[in-house]
Amino acid sequence: MRLAIDGGIPVRSEAWGSSYICTEEINEKEKEYVLRVLDKKRLFRWAPECLTDSETSKLENLYCERLGVTHALAVNSGTSALLATLIAAGIGPGDEVIIPAFTFIATASAVVLAGAVPVIVDIDETLTISPKSILNALTKYTKAIIPVHMKGVPSQMDEIMKIAKDNKLIVIEDNAQANGGMYKGKQLGSIGDAACFSFQQNKLVTSGEGGLIATNNSEIFSRACIYHDVGLLFRDVSKNTVNFPSFPAENYRMSELNAAIGLAQSERIDNLVGRLRKIKQKIIAGIQDVSLIELQRVPDVEGDSSCYVIFYLPSPQITMRFSMALKKEGIPNNVLRSRGFSDRHIYTNWDFILNKRAIYEASNPWSNGWYKGDVEYSLEMCQKTLQLLSRAIAIPLHQNLTTRDCDDAIEAIHKVSNNLLNL
């Protein structure tokens, strides 16, 4: 059959779901919780009457229960969560923090803002940080690792936690993209020393803007509490922060309105991810037989938050053409590299890191005199990452895709593969 890109009839012509997973779910619950806040006339969580009746506290309690952790702190973004956690964990000048070459720029930026030096290492076929690359990057200055559960897929946490234990390193999970995911029966965000979530609109659940820190470590929690509330907590949520001296800090507090939306959204995350998983499993089962494509390796298939189907093709050229042809068949998809803009998820576009530039010289972690290591960056340094991304195609999934939609995707992938020689 002739491909749509060559003038043939496309597999489908209807639209393919909405682009935002989280906001599609907004319903009476969000309205009820938001109106509840307006009725109470309390948008500030620390209003005295609010302490026992706060949406922000409810959101934190929900994550404590979901993850089985002792502490959760809601903040105003995922980036804030990362910076507050790094600072709370005592990571700063002189320290190296290992991060993957494929993650949102916020992960790298937070490390520099904390005063530490990011060490950027390759990902592997899972599209998450490669444990082998972590081992190769260890130095006497390494203080922490930030595994990022990219595109819904869990990082290889057994291997990472072993490296951390053997080398006495702190592990901070960046779980902005895999809320609701699991790894070998454990909730993502409950495995490292601390974890950061984002509730921005591109994520699985949203609060408008927002983030959350989860940890079992009461020192990290207490210091994060201090940092998120301008150095001296208005109310001592942790009941423990008195044991820690105050220090200059930012205001990262979440508003009750954001918390209300985040709460309504987060209450249904298992249902949401459950629906996504069924859809992904159906499509994956239907394309197993396509010999041309190599599926993304997923460290725990059952734990996958399942917001994307991702596969690799034999070469970057074939990948670009495959992507275009699949789009013309009516199945939206992206290549992961060369998207036509400076994608901030790829280290080659982290200009300020490649050029070792900070806000001002005294805060420059590479050159202010504290750092004794010799990290270097270049556009070419993570070849494996660039090669993998240049051969990868991602199909964004949506919880409302029907069986018919899945069948169309399967059919279109077969059709394009079968005609690849003609591309």
Query: Which stretches of the chain bind ligand PLP, using CB under 6 A?
Result: 77-79, 103-104, 106-107, 148, 174, 176-177, 198, 200, 211
Choice between 155 and 198, CB closer to ligand PLP = 198
- DSSP β-ladder status, 308-312 and 294-295: antiparallel
Choice between 177 and 238, CB closer to ligand PLP = 177
Strand ranges in 146-181 using DSSP code E only, listed in sequence order: 170-174
The DSSP annotation for 105-162 comes to: HHHHHHHHHTT-EEEEE-B-TTSSB-HHHHHHH--TTEEEE--B-GGGPPP-HHHHHH
| Contact in structure between 266 and 63 (CB atoms under 8 Å) | yes
Residue with smallest beta-carbon separation from ligand PLP = 78
Residue with tokens 């946490």: 157
Q: What's the closest the beta carbon of residue 176 comes to ligand PLP, in angstroms?
A: 3
Q: What's the closest the beta carbon of residue 164 comes to ligand PLP, in angstroms?
A: 19
Please count the CA atoms within 13 angstroms of the CA of 244 that sit on its side-chain side: 24
Strand partners, 98: 119, 145
Q: What's the closest the beta carbon of residue 305 comes to ligand PLP, in angstroms?
A: 12
What letter would DSSP give residue 108?
Answer: H
Q: What's the closest the beta carbon of residue 79 comes to ligand PLP, in angstroms?
A: 3
Choice between 252 and 371, CB closer to ligand PLP = 252
Residue with tokens 């992938």: 413
Choice between 115 and 152, CB closer to ligand PLP = 152
Q: What's the closest the beta carbon of residue 75 comes to ligand PLP, in angstroms?
A: 9
Q: Which one is catalytic: 58, 143, 151, 203? A: 203
Question: How far out from the chain centre does Cα 74 lie?
Answer: 16
Answer yes or no: 203 catalytic: yes
Length of the chain measured in residues: 423
What letter would DSSP give residue 191?
Answer: S
Separation of alpha carbons 396 and 200, rounded Å: 17
Separation of alpha carbons 36 and 264, rounded Å: 12
Q: What's the closest the beta carbon of residue 105 comes to ligand PLP, in angstroms?
A: 8
Separation of alpha carbons 246 and 17, rounded Å: 48
User: Could you list the active site residues?
Assistant: 203
